[in-house]
Amino acid sequence: MSLGNDRAAEAASAGTAARFRVALTFDVEHPDRPSVPGVTERILDVLDRLHVHATMFIQGRWAEAYPDTAAAIAHAGHLVGNHSFYHARMPLFTREAFATDVRSAEGVLREACGVDPAPWFRCPFGTGQDDSAIISQLDQLGYRNVGWDVDGYDWDVGGAAELEERIVLESVACGDGAVVLLHGWPRRTPEALPAIVARLRDAGAQFVSVDALESVPSGFPVPRAGAAAGGADAATG
């Protein structure tokens, strides 16, 4: 039995499971793979039904295209973060273009969502989040990059059951403060969410947004035995 299975089974059998916090985060963006309309809205419906507040890193151009859905994200009480304007790899920008991209997204999100996304930022594809120059530029603009501990690979895994298993076992193995990476457009994501939330709650999880954590990962997760390898070339988001 895996470490995740061991901990989940122990928590479920204990009756009063030790509490640990999990932050579900979603990169809400124009998809770079085939998708269908309405997935983000379905995710919001599921989260509302399950009384889960998440963190949504929203692309500026996406918010321009779907201002009503962007507004609904903030209205539902989810924490809004900045996911750039163009969803380009941040190290490709000049310093001036970098600032323009971040500020453009910020302006759109302020208008569409009615909230300031600072200081929460996530580099598209994770590219640049392990680059001290990128982190320094974000800091000068009032932002900090939020990485992740658990990558659901919801854009790539075979189906909802596989996504559920990956998220549950790796979140339990990670423990308190696990930050989970998901996306706002894969069809399997809203299908898997009810079981993910139910199983993690049974294991003792409390769902929070990243601003409730004392610390958040700033880069890619440290590989664990049996976990899929991650990195800029493997990530989407």
Q: Is 224 helix (H, G, I), strand (E, B) or coil?
A: coil
Q: Do the Cβ atoms of 179 and 148 come closer than 8 Å?
A: yes
Calpha distance 132→187 (Å, rounded): 35
Residue 235, pLDDT > 90, answer no
**Domains of the chain, each with CATH number or no CATH:** 3-212 (3.20.20.370)
Write out pLDDT tens, residues 74-111.
Answer: 999 999 999 999 999 999 999 999 999 999 999 999 99
Instruction: List alpha helices for 36-145, DSSP H.
Output: 39-49, 60-65, 67-75, 95-113, 132-140
Mean per-residue pLDDT, 221-229: 55
pLDDT digits (tens, 9 = 90+) for 1-54: 344 444 444 444 443 357 999 999 999 999 877 788 999 999 999 999 999 999
Predicted model pTM: 0.88
Please determine, for residue 73, whether its predicted confidence score (pLDDT) is greater than 80: yes
Work out the angle at residue 236's Cα, subtended by the Cα atoms of residues 153 and 46, and round it to the nearest 5 degrees: 55
Assess whether the previous peptide bond of 119 is cis (omega < 30° from 0).
yes
Tokens at 164, concatenated: 């559920």
Strands (E), the chain: 20-28, 55-58, 79-82, 120-121, 144-145, 150-151, 178-183, 205-207
pLDDT tens for 101-151 read 999 999 999 999 999 999 999 999 999 999 999 999 999 999 999 999 999
Contacts within 8 Å (CB) and 24+ apart, 161-164? 161/192, 163/188, 163/189, 163/192, 163/196, 164/192, 164/195, 164/196, 164/199
DSSP helix/strand/coil, 17: coil
Q: State the greatest distance between any 2 C-alpha atoms of the chain, in Å, as a whole number.
A: 55
